[in-house]
Amino acid sequence: MYLLWEIIIGILAGFLAGQIVKGSGMGILIDLLVGIVGSILGGWIFGLLGLATYGLLGQLVMATVGAIVLLLIVKAIKK
Domain hosting residue 47, numbered range:
2-78
pLDDT of residue 65: 92
Q: How confident is the model at residue 25 (pLDDT cuts 50, 70, 90)?
A: low
Q: Are 72 and 20 spatial neighbours (Cβ–Cβ below 8 Å)? A: no
Tens digit of each residue's pLDDT (9 = 90 or more) over 43-59? 899 989 999 888 889 99
pLDDT of residue 50: 92
Average pLDDT over the chain, rounded to an integer: 85
Q: In b/e form, how buried is each residue of 8-32, taking b as 16+ CB within 10 angstroms? A: ebbbbbbbbbbeebeeebbeeeebb
Q: How many domains does the chain have?
A: 1
